[in-house]
Amino acid sequence: MPKYVYLFKEGDASMRNLLGGKGANLAEMTNIGMPVPQGFTVTTEACTRYYADGKTIAPEIEEEIYQALAATEKEYGKKFGDLENPFLVSVRSGSRASMPGMMDTILNLGLNDVAVEGMARLTNNERFAYDSYRRFIQMFSDVVMEVDKGLFHNALEDVKREKGTTQDTDLDAQDLKEVVRRYKEIYRNAKGEEFPQDPKMQLMEAIKAVFRSWDNPRAIYYRRMNDIPGDWGTAVNVQGMVFGNMGDDCGTGVAFTRNPSTGENKLYGEYLMNAQGEDVVAGIRTPHPMADMETDMPELYKQFMEYANTLEKHYRDMQDMEFTIERGKLYMLQTRNGKRTAAAAVKIAVDLVGEGMLSEEEAVLKVEPKQLETLLHPNFDTAELKKATSFATGLPASPGAGAGGLYFTAHEAAAAGKQGKDVILVREETTPEDIEGMDYAKAILTARGGMTSHAAVVARGMGRPAVVGCGALHIDEVKKTLTVNGQVFHEGDPVSVDGTTGHVYSGLIPTVEASVSGDFGRLMAWADAARTLKVRTNADTPRDTAQAVEFGAEGIGLCRTEHMFFEADRVKAMREMILSDSAEQRRAALAKILPFQQKDFEEMYKALEGRPMTVRYLDPPLHEFLPQKSMVNEIAEIASELGTTSEKIVQKIDELHEFNPMMGHRGCRLSVTYPEIAEMQTRAVLQAALKVRKETGMAVVPEIMIPLVGSKKELKYVKDIVMETAEKIFAEQGEKIDFLVGTMIEIPRACVTADEIAEEAEFFSFGTNDLTQMGFGFSRDDAGKFLDSYYTSKILESDPFARLDVDGIGKLVETAVTLGKKGRPNIKLGICGEHGGDPSTIEFCHKVGLNYVSCSPYRVPIARLAAAHAAIKEKQAK
Amino acid sequence: MPKYVYLFKEGDASMRNLLGGKGANLAEMTNIGMPVPQGFTVTTEACTRYYADGKTIAPEIEEEIYQALAATEKEYGKKFGDLENPFLVSVRSGSRASMPGMMDTILNLGLNDVAVEGMARLTNNERFAYDSYRRFIQMFSDVVMEVDKGLFHNALEDVKREKGTTQDTDLDAQDLKEVVRRYKEIYRNAKGEEFPQDPKMQLMEAIKAVFRSWDNPRAIYYRRMNDIPGDWGTAVNVQGMVFGNMGDDCGTGVAFTRNPSTGENKLYGEYLMNAQGEDVVAGIRTPHPMADMETDMPELYKQFMEYANTLEKHYRDMQDMEFTIERGKLYMLQTRNGKRTAAAAVKIAVDLVGEGMLSEEEAVLKVEPKQLETLLHPNFDTAELKKATSFATGLPASPGAGAGGLYFTAHEAAAAGKQGKDVILVREETTPEDIEGMDYAKAILTARGGMTSHAAVVARGMGRPAVVGCGALHIDEVKKTLTVNGQVFHEGDPVSVDGTTGHVYSGLIPTVEASVSGDFGRLMAWADAARTLKVRTNADTPRDTAQAVEFGAEGIGLCRTEHMFFEADRVKAMREMILSDSAEQRRAALAKILPFQQKDFEEMYKALEGRPMTVRYLDPPLHEFLPQKSMVNEIAEIASELGTTSEKIVQKIDELHEFNPMMGHRGCRLSVTYPEIAEMQTRAVLQAALKVRKETGMAVVPEIMIPLVGSKKELKYVKDIVMETAEKIFAEQGEKIDFLVGTMIEIPRACVTADEIAEEAEFFSFGTNDLTQMGFGFSRDDAGKFLDSYYTSKILESDPFARLDVDGIGKLVETAVTLGKKGRPNIKLGICGEHGGDPSTIEFCHKVGLNYVSCSPYRVPIARLAAAHAAIKEKQAK
C-alpha cells in the first residue's frame, strides 16, 4: 500500500511529484535546519485516489492523516481543540507545478468554542482570538462548506453599523463575540446543523475542499494556459500556525533573493508588522520594503539574509520566500523558485553561470521559452512617448507596453478580447477569478496592491504589462467609469499602459520593437549550441523576413503566397482570372500578376541571404477574392472596373459558394482544376531565383510546397506541372537552378499514405492547423462555440489549435514521419502550423525526429530556446 | 523479357489478364476447334508499357508484332498490301473486363491503293472494294489520326448531291472511287501528308490508337462506374477480316445461348444478311431474329447451335457470340460470358445448378451483387398503369419502370440529374458518348435500334429501364421537341417508360415495389449459407424496418434519430429547446418530444421482432431545425407559435451560424454542451425497450450509439450521462434491460486512438461518409465541383463517397479495427456509412474482419450477396 501522508521531516526536495512543490520544499527546508513550523503533507496520489473513489477519502488515508496529526501535536506539545494549549493549523494546496492563487487555503483551522478561549488565554488577547475565530468561520464556511460569503459580510457590516463605526478595527472583543454568534447562526441556517466543533472533522473537510479546488474553473483555465496535466492532482500541506498578527513584535513578509522584475542580485520584498500573510499578498495595506527591516530589526534581518543565501545556494536558483515573525521569532513558511519576468529570468540564468552555480545548459533550462515573448514584445515609441502626458502613475509591476480600450470587468474584457479587440483591464484589485480577462488584456491596471499583489504576480507570469497600486484611480464598476483628477474615462476609451515605468496615458501610443540585451544573446548562443532542431520562420514579406533573420531564423518554412494575390494592384487581375471562362483567359489574367509575384520573391530571396525559402502555392478558396453577395456597392465597383456586370459577379459568387469551404475547393485542388495557377507561380518562384542569383551571386534555395495534398497522384499531378514549367524556364534562360518540390501534410489521408506520397515529395511540412481541423473534425472558425464546454467537462485540457494534441493528431504526425522515411529515407521534415512556435509542440517535434520547426518571426527565439530545452532534457534523461 | 504478342493458338482462357477477355476467348475457341479467323493479341502488358514509355511502342514489341503478322499472313496465304491476294485485318480492343463500346475498333485495315484493286479482282466486286476502302479511310482518319469526321460526311454528301441521289447505295464503283479521291485529299489537307499506304504503318498506328482509347473520357467514366482499375490496360486483337457484306450468301449476327433479358434457356439473337457486324450493333437496319435462320439456312443454323452448345458447356455460362457468314461459311468471331439482366442472371445461375453445370457457390458468384438493384426496383403500379394510355411502343430492351422529365441530350440529362431531377433520356439512338447521361436517367428511350443495340446493351448492364427502336418517335434535338402522332412533348415534360413491356406513357405513373421470384430466394439462401458477415439495415421508420426485414436484414445498424425531431409535431418543441436560455427550459422542451420518440422506438422494436437496433443519438447541427435567415415569413410564424419575437429567432440563427457546419457543433458535441438531449434520448430508447418487452415478451436489444466521437473522454462523458439515466429508469421501473453503448468511428482522431476509445465502447460502427469527408478533407456537399477534374486527371478512379477508398480511408479503418480489438478483444465491429451497401466495400469489410455491414433496405440483398462473394472468393483463394 502506498504511503499517502508524509511528515515534513520524512520528505525532501526530490519528492516534488508526490508532495507538490510546496510540500517538497517544506520538507527540504526542514532537512537543512530552517525554522519551519512543522506539519505534514497529504500526497498528490491521495488526491488522485480521492477522485477515483468518487470524491471520498478512503478510511486508510484518513487513518494516516490522524497519525500524522498526532505526531505533529506531540512535537508542538499542543492539542487540537484544547482549552489550555490549542493546536491550530493552516491547510494549503500545493501541486507539482506552482499555480499561485488558483486553489484554496484555510488558516486557523482547529478553532472552536473551546480553543478560542484557550487561545485568548494563551495570547492574553481575547480580541485577537475572536477575530481569528470569526475569520476562520467565514473562510471555512465559504471555502469548505460553500456557504454564500455575502451573508457573513452583511452580518459584519450590521454589527459595525449597530456599533456606529465603519472600521473593523473599532470592534472590540465583545463585538467580535457577537459577530461569531451571528456567523454561527448563518452557518446553522444555511447547513441545518451547528458549525463543526470537532477540529478533526474540520481538518478532513478542509482537505477535501483543497482536493476539490484542483478542479475549479480557474484552476482548469490556468492549467490549460500553462500546459499542466489535469491528472497530476494537488497535495495538501497541513502546517502548525504561527501568527504574524499577535502584536507589534509580530509580522509577516514575502521576499525574493533577487529582483524578480530585473534580475538584479539584491534582496527584494515587502513585509507588514502585526499582519497575517494574506494581508501582504492581497494588497490591502501597503507594506514596507525589505530595506526598512535592516534598519528596524537588524538582527532578524541578518538572520533572514543568512536563510535566503542558504536557500538560493541550495536550490541554485532565485528563491521566493514567505516568512512570519511571531513574538520576535523568525519562521520560514515557504520557499520556491521565484517567478520572474523574462528579462530577469535571462539575467539571473546568465549571472548564475557567472557565479559558478549553473552550467550553461542548466542556465538554458532556467528560462521558460514562452516567457521570452515579453522580452520580444514592443515598447512604446520613445518619441511618441515624449509627447504624451501621463494622467496617472502606479507601481511598474510587469514590464512592457500595452494600449487598448478600457474594460472594467474581467468578463467584459475577455468578451471584447475574443472579438479581437485590444483590451486594457482596469480593476480596483484583481482576484483569481479575473484570470481569463487578464489573459485577454494587452495590459492590466489596478488602483490598489503592491509589487507582490495578485495582479502583479499573475501579470508577470503571463508576460502582460501591468501597473498596480495606482491610487489616483477612482473606479465605478457599475457606471463603468474611471475618474482620475476629474478626467472621466468610459468603457472602450483608449488608454496606454507602460508596465516598465508605471505611467498610464490616455489615447493609443504607437509601439516599437524591443531590443534585447547582451545577456539574451549569450543565453541564446548556449541554446543554439544545445539544440538539434532547426528553426525557420513563417513570413510573407521582406520586412518580416528581415525581422525573423535578426531573431535567428534559419530560413523560411512557410511563405504563404495568398497576400501576393490579395494586394490592391493584383486582386483585380485575380478577379479577372476567376471570372474567366477558359484556360486562355485565365492565363492572360495570371500573366498580369506574375511580375508582381516574381518581384516579391526576389526581395525575399535577398532578405534571406542564401537561406532556404519554402513557398506554399495558392491555398485559399477563390471566393475569398470576391466580396460577399450582400456588398452590392463593392460588386458594382468591381464590375465596372472589370468591364462586366454585377449579375455575372453575383453568379460567380453563387457558383463559388461552399457549405464547408475548409473542406472545399482550395489548396492543390485549385491547381488540379486550374493548372495555369501552378504554372504562373512556378515562373514567379524560379525566375526570381535565377534573377537574384545572377544579380547578387547569393545562393538561392527555392522549395516549392504543394498544399492540401491527400494522395500521391494528386501531388504528382501538380508536381508534373511544376517540373514541366521549370524545364521551359530553364530552356528559355539557358540556365538551371536546384530546387525541391514537397508538400504540406495536413490531410489525414496523407498521413496514412505518406510512404507513397514521399516517393514524389522531397520534403514534408506538417500543416498542423488543418491536420487538427480534419483530424478532430473541428472547424477552427466554429469550435470556439463548444470548446469551452470541452474544457469545463475536462474532455480537453488545452486548445488543440494552440498546443498540438500529441495523443491524437500527434499519432497522425508520427505515422506520417515513419511512413515518409520509409518512402524516402532522406526526406526533409518540418512543421509550419501555428503549433511550430509552441514549446510543448516543439518538444514533440524534436522527439519524433523532425528536421525543423517554422513559426512567426517573434516566436523564433522562443522556438530556438524550446528546441534547446528538448535536446538538453533528452540528453539528461539518458 | 516478357512476351508481348501471342498468336491465338498460343493462348487460352486462363490468360485473360494478359490477353484481355476477347483475346483469351479467341485463343480458347481456337483451341477447342471453332472456326475462328486467325490472328494475334498484343497483351495488356504492352499497353501498360506503352504508357510507361511515354505513349510509344518499344522497338522490341514492334518487332514481335511484325513476327506475329508474318506468321498469320503465312497461315492465310495472303499478304499485306498485295495486289493478288491482299490480307486485311480488324484491330479491336479487349480488356480484362468487358467494356462494350468504350474503346476503338478499326476494320478493313490493310487496304491501300494497291490492295483495293486486289480485293476488287478477288471478289469480282469493284464497288464492294472501294466502298470498303472509303469506309476504312474515314475510320482510320477519324479514330487513329483524329481528322474531323464531319469533313468526310460532307464530302460523301457532295458526291451524292452531284449524282442527284440521297442514298449511299445509289453510288457505283466510279462514284466511290471519286469519294476515295476526295477522302484522301481531305486527309492530305488535314495532316500535311498522303494517306498512309504502308499497311504495317497503318497497323502500328491503329494499335497505338486502341491503347490511347483506354484513356478516353467515356472509358474512364465506365471504369469508375464499374470499379475497373485504370492500370489494367487493354489488349489489342488483330484478326484476319472475314466479310459478311460480300453478297447475299454473306451475313453477320450476334446471339446469346440463353435469353439475356429473362434467362430463358433458348437461343436468342439477331442477324443481318449482306452486312458487317457493326451494322447489327449500331441498330441502323432492323435485323432478323435467330429463329428465321433455322428456316432460311437450316444447315448453318444447326452448325451454329452446335458451336453455341459447346461454348456454353465449355465456359459453364451463358455465352454472347458474334459470328459472320462469308460466302456460306460460318466463322465465330467472338464469344464471351453474356451480359444479362438481374432476373436473367438469377435464373441462369439457378438453372445451371439444376443442369449440373455449377455448384451452388459457383452459382452465387455468377450474379453480380450490384445487378440485384434492378430486381428490387419498383415497377409501375398495375392499377395506375391500367388507367394510362401508352402513346408509343418500342422494344422492351431493359426491364423496370422509370418516370421523369424528358431530356434530349445526354449532357442535359446528366446536368438535370445532378440537380436531383428525375430524368428520362430520349435519343434517336445512343452512342458511347452518351454514357453519363444514361447513367443519370431513370429510363432510356430511343427511336432506332434493336435488342442488341448500344442503348439496349448498356441499359441492361446499368440496370436502367430502356425502350428502344420506338419508330413512332420524331425527335428534334435542336428545337428540343418529341413529336408522336401529332402530340408534342418539350424538354422537361413528364413521361413514364416501361422497360418490361416497351410501352411509353405521358405523365408520371406511380411505382410499386418489385416482388422477387423463387429463384431469387434459392440463390439468396445459398449466399446466406456462404457468408460470414452479418447484414443489417439503416432504417428510421417502422415501414423501412419491415421492408428491410423482408429483404433479410438481421437488425438495424443505424437508426438516425433526426427525423424523430424534425416531424411537424416535434419540431416546435425542438425549436423551443434551441431558444431556451437554461438547462431547465431545455429539459422542459425535450420532455414534450420524449413520448413521440419513445413511441417511434416501440414500433421499431416490434417491427424488428427481437433483432438488435443501433440507435444513433442526435447528430445534425441545431441550425438545421431553424429556417434560413432570409425566410422572414416562416420566422414570423415560428415566433408567434412559440410566443417569442422574430428578432430573438434571427439572433439565435446568427448565433448558430457556422462557417464549416460539417466540422462544427454537431454529433456528440451537442450532448457535451446539452447533456439533457442524451438524457431524453436514453429515456426514449430504454423506456420503449422495457415497455415492448413487457407487452410482447419479445427480446429487445437496444444498442446506443454516440456519434462523432474523437476521444475516449468525450465518449465517456456522454456514456456517463446514458448510464446515470439508465440507472434512474431502472430504479423507477424496478426492472432492468441489457443494452450496449458504442460509438460511430467517423473522425480520423478516433481511428488512431481507437484502443483507448474501445475501453469505453462496446461496439464501433464505422461512419465512412464522415470519415471520408474528414480523411480526405472533402466536403461531400462541395466536392462535386472539383471531383470531375480529379476523374479526368486520373487522380481518382472512383467517387470515394460511393466506393470506400480502401488505400487511404481503408487504412484508417484498419487501424481502428486493430487498435479497437487491442482495447477490447470482443468488440463488435460494423459499418453504417453509405458504403455499407457497396459490394467492393463489403469485400473490404469482410477482409478486415468486421462483424456486420448496414445499408439501406433495398441494398440488403445486394449486401448479402456481396458478403457471400467475399467469403467464397476468400475460400477459393486459399
- Which residue among A778, A789, A812 sits closest to B672, beta carbon to beta carbon? A789
Does residue B402 register a pLDDT over 80?
yes
- Angstrom CA distances, B167 to A776, B157, B175, stand at 69, 9, 12
pLDDT score at A364 = 97
How far apart CA B364 and CA B868 sit, in angstroms, is 8
Does residue B814 register a pLDDT over 80?
yes
Q: Which of A411-415, A693-697, B222-226, B538-542 has the lowest average pLDDT?
A: B222-226
How far apart CA A441 and CA A427 sit, in angstroms, is 12
B103 pLDDT tier (thresholds 50, 70, 90): confident
pLDDT digits (tens, 9 = 90+) for B732-762: 999 999 999 999 999 999 999 999 999 999 9
CB contact under 8 A, A776 and B815: no
A439 pLDDT tier (thresholds 50, 70, 90): confident
Does residue A281 register a pLDDT over 80?
no
* Chain B environment of A807 (Cβ under 8 Å): 711, 753
pLDDT score at B395 = 87
How far apart CA A284 and CA A274 sit, in angstroms, is 14
B516 pLDDT tier (thresholds 50, 70, 90): low
DSSP reduced 3-state for A750:
helix
pLDDT score at B30 = 96
What pTM, to 2 d.p., does this model score? 0.80
pLDDT digits (tens, 9 = 90+) for B408-456: 999 899 999 988 899 999 998 887 778 788 989 999 999 987 776 778 8
Q: What is chain A's percent helix, strand, coil content, to nearest 5?
A: 50, 15, 30
Q: Does B806 touch chain A (CB under 8 A)?
A: no
Grid cell for residue A207: 482537505
Q: Which of A36-45, B245-254, B707-716 has the lowest average pLDDT?
A: B245-254
pLDDT score at B169 = 77
User: How is the beta sheet containing B401-407 ordered, strand by strand?
Assistant: B390-393, B503-506, B494-498, B401-407, B423-427, B443-446, B466-468, B395-398
pLDDT score at A515 = 62
How far apart CA B109 and CA B240 sit, in angstroms, is 9
How far apart CA A464 and CA A377 sit, in angstroms, is 10
When pLDDT is averaged across residues A68-74 and rounded to a whole number, the result is 95
Contact predicate A485/A472, CB 8 Å: yes
In our burial notation (b when 16+ CB lie closer than 10 A, e otherwise), range A566-603 reads eeeebebbbbbbbbbeeeeebbebbebbbebbbebbbb
Cα nearest neighbour of A713 on chain B: B795
Does residue B136 register a pLDDT over 90?
yes
Does residue A283 register a pLDDT over 60?
no
pLDDT score at B283 = 57
Mutate to test the interface with A, among B752, B759, B772, B792 (most CBs of A within 10 A): B752
Mutate to test the interface with B, among A660, A751, A781, A807 (most CBs of B within 10 A): A660
- Residue B89's DSSP bridge partners are B109, B240
Give the distance from CA B605 to its chain's centroid. 35
| Amino acid type, A376 | L
Across chain A, mean pLDDT equals 91
When pLDDT is averaged across residues A698-724 and rounded to a whole number, the result is 96
DSSP type of residue A663: G
Contact predicate B808/A710, CB 8 Å: yes
Percent of chain B with pLDDT over 70: 97
Grid cell for residue A790: 470541452
Q: Does B669 touch chain A (CB under 8 A)?
A: yes
* Chain A environment of B664 (Cβ under 8 Å): 779, 782-783, 785
How far apart CA A47 and CA A211 sit, in angstroms, is 6
When pLDDT is averaged across residues A271-293 and rounded to a whole number, the result is 78
How far apart CA A385 and CA A441 sit, in angstroms, is 21
When pLDDT is averaged across residues B816-843 and rounded to a whole number, the result is 94
Tell me the helices (H) and strands (E) count for chain A, helix number first.
36, 33
Does residue B652 register a pLDDT over 60?
yes
Question: Could you write out the DSSP letters of every residue in A333-399?
Answer: EEEEEPP--HHHHHHHHHHHHHTTSS-HHHHHHHS-GGGHHHHHS-EE-HHHHHH--EEEE-EEEE-
Cα nearest neighbour of A712 on chain B: B795
CB contact under 8 A, A748 and B748: yes
How far apart CA A668 and CA A716 sit, in angstroms, is 11
Catalytic residue set of B: 454, 832
pLDDT score at A282 = 59
- Angstrom CA distances, B522 to A501, B528, B592, stand at 92, 10, 48
A461 pLDDT tier (thresholds 50, 70, 90): low
* Chain A environment of B790 (Cβ under 8 Å): 672, 714
Grid cell for residue A663: 473542406
Does residue A4 register a pLDDT over 60?
yes
Pairs of residues, one from chain A and one from chain B, whose beta carbons lie less than 8 Å apart: 172
User: Smallest Cα–Cα separation from A93: which of A103, A101, A84?
Assistant: A103
How far apart CA A844 and CA A223 sit, in angstroms, is 19
A47 is catalytic: no
Q: Which of A92-106, A274-288, B203-217 has the lowest average pLDDT?
A: A274-288
pLDDT digits (tens, 9 = 90+) for B565-604: 877 778 889 999 999 989 999 999 999 999 999 999 999 9
Q: Which of A255-264, A733-742, A818-827 has the lowest average pLDDT?
A: A255-264
Q: Which residue has the cell 534580475?
A: A263
pLDDT score at A431 = 79
User: Count of CB atoms within 10 A of residue A77's CB?
Assistant: 8
A463 pLDDT tier (thresholds 50, 70, 90): low
CB contact under 8 A, A781 and B812: no
pLDDT score at A175 = 94
Does residue A422 register a pLDDT over 90?
yes
How far apart CA A173 and CA A163 sit, in angstroms, is 13
Nearest chain B Cα distance for residue A566, angstroms = 21
- Which residue among A661, A663, A711 sits closest to B795, beta carbon to beta carbon? A711
User: Count of CB atoms within 10 A of residue A781's CB?
Assistant: 15
Contact predicate A676/A587, CB 8 Å: yes
When pLDDT is averaged across residues A307-320 and rounded to a whole number, the result is 96
Contact predicate A244/A251, CB 8 Å: yes
Does residue A230 register a pLDDT over 80?
yes
CB contact under 8 A, A795 and B717: yes
Does residue A858 register a pLDDT over 90?
no
SS (H, E, C) B741-796: EEEEECCHHHHHCHHHHHCCCCEEEECHHHHHHHHHCCCCCCCHHHHHHHHHCCCC
Contact predicate B321/B311, CB 8 Å: yes
How far apart CA B350 and CA A851 sit, in angstroms, is 64
CB contact under 8 A, A805 and B748: no
Does residue A567 register a pLDDT over 80?
no
pLDDT score at A16 = 93
User: How is the beta sheet containing A329-337 ordered, strand by strand?
Assistant: A288-289, A268-273, A251-256, A319-326, A329-337
Grid cell for residue A159: 454589527
Does residue B186 register a pLDDT over 60?
yes
Q: Which residue has the cell 511598474?
A: A396
Contact predicate A335/A319, CB 8 Å: yes
Does residue B277 register a pLDDT over 80?
no
- Which residue among B753, B775, B783 sits closest to A808, beta carbon to beta carbon? B753
* Chain B environment of A669 (Cβ under 8 Å): 786, 789
Contact predicate A36/A9, CB 8 Å: no
User: Count of CB atoms within 10 A of residue B628's CB?
Assistant: 10
Cα nearest neighbour of A751 on chain B: B808
Residues 6+ apart with CB under 8 A from B415: none
* Chain A environment of B749 (Cβ under 8 Å): 775-777, 805, 808-809, 812
How far apart CA A293 and CA A270 sit, in angstroms, is 9
* Selected residues 178-217 of chain A with any CB under 8 Å from a CB in chain B: none
- Residue A828's DSSP bridge partners are A763
pLDDT score at A542 = 87
Q: Which residue has the cell 507596453?
A: A401
How far apart CA B385 and CA B509 sit, in angstroms, is 7
B515 pLDDT tier (thresholds 50, 70, 90): low
- Angstrom CA distances, B296 to A576, B209, B290, B453, stand at 70, 40, 10, 23
pLDDT digits (tens, 9 = 90+) for B298-356: 999 999 999 999 999 999 999 999 999 998 999 999 999 998 888 899 999 999 999 99
- Angstrom CA distances, A481 to A398, B350, B524, stand at 24, 90, 81
How far apart CA B68 and CA B82 sit, in angstroms, is 18
Q: Does B714 touch chain A (CB under 8 A)?
A: yes
CB contact under 8 A, B779 and A660: yes
User: Smallest Cα–Cα separation from A180: which of A126, A144, A227, A259?
Assistant: A126
How far apart CA A143 and CA A136 sit, in angstroms, is 10
Q: Does A773 touch chain B (CB under 8 A)?
A: yes
Q: Which of A454-468, A492-506, B46-60, B101-115 has the lowest average pLDDT?
A: A454-468
